[in-house]
Structure 1
């Protein structure tokens, strides 16, 4: 199945392939959000385990799918080879840090509103928080497909597909994590589902923009890959892991993290 998808995506324009791949990650988010039609709330232990899983997938994807390729395709040796990855990683983390401080948002399990003061409702702020998560994820997939279009030897459609699968896997619990709290706040099932899936609509947009940017400015590719990695790691450390630990189910969240990391690492090495 996966090999058939890879073969098909290899036969079309990589930017179009980036669009298809990020549409897939968005659809998985919608699938998670659809659970709101079946349940009004999710068991806290299960939710913490899934959030931990999300963090593990994002960290593994950042290392194997983004940072290592960024270093491999950089020129020079020793410290000179790693400089583009370091610079891109720092810029990506700083970019998300800046948005986190400016954009008003509310974490899933937090009562404190972050960012500038605003009269917006809690539901809007929480949707913005998850949307913030999804920007670097779509960007990461798009940059990998764009590197294929740019003819970078280290980049492959298979690697980009594996990353999209990994992002899709961790988007499933994110869809649940948005829709369920909205439902508990009194929003209807339909509206909860709508806003849950809408939080990931930025992924196709970021994916296509990332692919086009790399194709247009090929020299920035190592920086772009590391940028996406830095942004994703920031999200994991700043939001995903703390949210997974809020209910003091640290063991469950940790096991979920390890499982997500191992799964993404295995997919990338075995199939990529």
Structure 2
């Protein structure tokens, strides 16, 4: 099966992987049809788990390979990873500044970005959408690195997509269920929840295409995606998981998420 997959166009594989991670978000958002409210402790655990997965994926699936690909630079092999990592964080910061959005659990008075009259719902969805961009890009770059016949790179890309899909499931629920609690219908809550991940297949294709078009940027692209993902974890996921108590549970969930992704990446990738 791997032999067949590795012969397919990497951009097409990236699209399939992006659709998979989007589908995982939709599956999580579908929990709104069964629950009207999400227990805060459970929400914190879910966000903490997602943070742990993203931290592990950023290193094991993105930064470490970027450094390995730059081994020919000798003692300066860290440079592409360092430059890409910092640029990834700067890019997300720029997007945050130019896009109006509101983090989960925050009052509308704490919205960020330029002034806007958008409703709280759209601000929440925009926030999650912005922070799904690096996940899609990471999947795309990973599949863009796959050269026909190189099963190891293909497996690593598939593990990354699977790991991001795992953390997208609770993220989808963390968007749709609070919207239901604010009075939206189940259908609308689900719609907004799953739409927050629509950017993932789009940026997966863009990431894969750019890497194939300009192969030398691969280590920079991998670490760029990692930097953007870490920005999301530090700026949003961890702070939100630590609100309103249950700090220890959220922290434990972060460690579990990290451990799960690390095991998947090392054992399978």
| Candidates 201, 214, 222, aligned match of 1:225 | 222
**1:97 lines up with 2:97 in the alignment:** no
Instruction: Note the aligned Cα RMSD (angstroms).
Output: 1.5
1:125 is the counterpart of 2:129: no
Equivalent residue of 1:200, what SS?
coil
Residue number in structure 2 paired with 1:53: 49
Are 1:110 and 2:106 an aligned pair?
yes
Cα distance in 1 for partners of 2:152, 2:118 equals 42
CA contact (8 A) 2:125 2:192 kept: yes
Counterpart in the other structure of 1:139: 137
Q: Give TM-score, length-normalised by structure 1.
A: 0.95
Gaps of 5+ in 2: none
Q: C-alpha displacement at 1:263, in angstroms?
A: 0.2
| Structure 1 consecutive aligned stretches of length 4 or more whose deviation exceeds 4 Å | 151-155
What residue number does 1:240 align with? Answer: 237
Cα distance 1:154–1:86, how it changes in 2: closer, same or farther (>3 A)? farther
Aligned to 1:200: 197
Aligned to 2:155: 158
Map 1:157-176 to 2 at 5 A.
157-176=154-173
Cα distance in structure 2, aligned partners of 1:222 and 1:153: 17
Cα distance in 2 for partners of 1:92, 1:248 equals 31
CA contact (8 A) 2:85 2:227 kept: yes
| SS of aligned partner of 2:146 | helix
Distance across 2 between alignment mates of 1:39 and 1:104: 29
Query: How many residues in Structure 1 have an aligned counterpart in Structure 2?
Result: 266
Once the two structures are superposed, residues 214-248 of structure 1 have per-residue CA deviations (whole angstroms, 9 ceiling, x without a partner) of 00000111100000000000000000000101122
Q: Is the 1:143–1:224 contact (alpha carbons within 8 Å) kept by the matching residues of 2?
A: yes
Pairwise CA distance, 1:10: 2.1
User: How high is the TM-score relative to the length of structure 2?
Assistant: 0.96
2:20 — aligned with what? 24
- Find the counterpart in structure 2 of residue 67 from structure 1: 63
Match of 2:206 among 209, 226, 249: 209
